Each structure stands twice: as C-alpha cells, then as structure tokens.
Amino acid sequence: MVLDRALVLQMLHDAIGDDVDVFLVNLTVSDSVLPKVTVTLDGPQGLGIEECAKVSRRLARRIDEHYGEEAAYSLEVTSPGADQPLTDPRQYQRHIGRSLALKLADGTEKTGELLAATPEGVEIAEVVKVKTKKNILPAAFYPFGDIKEATVVISFK
C-alpha cells in the first residue's frame, strides 16, 4: 500500500482543524512496505502529549476511513525536541530571551540572545568570546531567508 502524501497532508489539516495553538512543522510519509507517517507539530507555547494524541487519533481515523481499517501503516505524531532546529518562523517567539545558534546561508555562524522575532526574521545580540572574555555585540537583524539553520543553545549552568 502506498499512502499519498498530499492526501495525508489534507487529512492532517482537517485533523488539526481551527486549533490556532497547533501548527505543522514537518510531515514525512515513507514509501516502505509498512508506510510510516511522521508528523511534527508545534505551537506558540509548545505542545504537550495530549495535543499530539488528539491530532494522532483524528488523523488515524481519517486515514482508516479513506484507506480502510485493514490498511497497515505506522503513525507517529510528535513535537520537536529541544535539540531540533527551528524550521518555522512561528517557533521563534517563545524562545525570546534564550540563546540561539544560527548558521547563515553565507556560511557564517552567529550565537547570541534572541531579542525579537518577527514574521520577517530575528534580532540577535551576538556573543563573541575573545580569550576568556565575552563581548556582546549590538543587536543585528537576520531575515529568515538568510538563516540556513537555527537551534536553541541548551545550557546546563
């Protein structure tokens, strides 16, 4: 059996419905013997297991209705882990005040405190280490089009 990604995506949007606290980060549908549907969701304040389970049940019901109850597939609905890159502009807002590591399209890397997030990009106060001293540079704006990858820097201090 082959699951149509476009159809699963439409079913997923139906399963999420009008919930403004949930948005799609990523959807993959493998074309293996036992197809695996992997959905990554997020929200303005993050997502708990209850929200993921609710969307999972709704999506499974829609897939079963369309492909039949005997359809064999694996479904995983999850939220991004702390080590996952930020891929949607809506993910940045809740990380204001945290340290971000940016890899830019031109190959440079910046690490600093996220001061602001807009629909167009992010403002970062870059931290530069010179020997044993940390210098904080004036805030700079980076448009999303220039950001190749962004991750939250996790500190255990």
Q: 59, 78, 97: which is the final residue of a domain?
A: 78
User: What integer pLDDT is reported at residue 29 of this predicted model?
Assistant: 94
Cβ atoms within 10 Å of 42's Cβ, excluding its own: 24
Locate tokens 């990523």: which residue?
26
Q: 41, 61, 78: which is the final residue of a domain?
A: 78
The residue range of the domain holding 64 is 5-78
User: What integer pLDDT is reported at residue 10 of this predicted model?
Assistant: 95
Tokens describing residue 126: 């870059």
78 confidence band (pLDDT: 50, 70, 90): very high
pTM, full prediction: 0.79
Q: Are residues 73 and 107 in the same domain?
A: no
In a domain? residue 23 = yes
In angstroms, the CA 75 to CA 110 distance is 36
Burial 119-130 (b: 16+ CB within 10 A, else e): eebbbbebeeee
- In sequence order, the β-bridge partners of residue 138 are none
Q: How many folded domains does the chain comprise?
A: 2
Residue 156 has pLDDT above 80, yes or no: no
Q: Domain holding 27: CATH number?
A: 3.30.300.20
Residue 20 has pLDDT above 80, yes or no: no
Phi, psi of 150 (to 5 degrees): -135, 130
Q: 52, 78, 104: which is the final residue of a domain?
A: 78
Q: Are residues 94 and 129 in the same domain?
A: yes
Tell me the three state secondary structure of residue 65.
helix
Average confidence (pLDDT) over 84-106: 93
